[in-house]
Amino acid sequence: MEARWVIREELAAQQARGSLRQLLEKQWLLPRHLVHSLRSRRQVLLNGRYQPMNTPVRPGDQVTLNFFGDEFRTAESSYVPTLSPRLSILYENRDLLVINKPAGQKSHPNYRGETGTLMNDAAGYLKATAPQSAAYMVHRIDQQTSGAMIVAKNPVVVPILDRLISSGRIHRHYLAVVAGKLQPASGHFDWPIGRDPADRRKRMVNGTQAQPALTYYQLVDSNDRASLVRLRLATGRTHQIRVHLAHAGHPLLGDPLYNPASPTERLMLHGDALRLVLPFSMQPLLIHAPLSRFFQQKLINFALTD
């Protein structure tokens, strides 16, 4: 039986001393149950041969990981592929895609068989270009928000990316236009966010089952009507940026839920930069997602510059 996913890596010249187990768990961030499976089934090879987990690794060593599918809770990707997908791909390698999601498109289906989402488009793209790969969800972006979104191409890297995001090593940066002049010019919002008991679509500060939430902000430009703001998420709560800014008295322009009286017809929130860490090599990579024409025109209309 052939492995379904094979990960081959050559260790870099600056590889630190340590055991094969330390490489897999501490450096590559593979979950322990996957490391256990690799060991018990002898599915990890060091320079072409199975070696015990306490074997030292050295620069230039070839490490091969073989996965058959039953090691994962969700090995299958069930998104219906889009036949002729149109994707703005910002970065791609063996393990992942970074896509510039347009405003108005859902990140993922909400029910089996739903189509038209970014994950459907990614599934269609990979079916045509990399049949050995498939689309796996890593994180989502609100439907009205545009910007950089990571899609995994195999289930091996999903838990690695999850851990990189939860530990803050992968950062998501946003550009937003908000009502009024935001003061002070930099700071953070750390209000807990939970469900709004009066509206199931919404979240609110100190709502039902509130969870800690942290958003950093930096004012870029402003006038009496609006401010251009850069934001970084330290946590990933639903509608986090939208709720924090609305609670601060500076709701996003074009936000139908938290600023329904806004004069702008589309949400002015864009994930313009992603500080990515590549699985296995653990190399940092800064990826920028270009603004849409609509967003650029609104900046001109408000005479705000980046």
Positions marked catalytic? 142
Structural contact between residues 8 and 72, judged by C-beta atoms closer than 8 angstroms: no
Query: What distance in Å separates the CA atoms of residue 76 and residue 124, rounded to the nearest whole number?
Result: 15
Identify the three-state secondary structure at position 119.
Answer: helix
- Write the CB contacts of 103 (distance below 8 Å, at least 6 apart in sequence): 144, 145, 146, 266, 267, 270, 292, 294
Peptide bond into 184 cis (omega under 30): yes
Identify the three-state secondary structure at position 97.
Answer: strand
What count of residues does the chain have? 306
End-to-end CA distance of the chain: 55
Query: What distance in Å separates the CA atoms of residue 88 and residue 129, rounded to the nearest whole number?
Result: 15
Identify the three-state secondary structure at position 35.
Answer: helix
Give me the residues paired with residue 146 across strands.
270
- The tokens 């199975």 sit on which residue? 50
Half-sphere exposure of 238 (CA within 13 A, CB side): 14
Half-sphere exposure of 293 (CA within 13 A, CB side): 0
Query: What distance in Å separates the CA atoms of residue 198 and residue 101, rounded to the nearest whole number?
Result: 30
- Side chain identity, residue 130: A
Query: What distance in Å separates the CA atoms of residue 48 and residue 57, rounded to the nearest whole number?
Result: 13
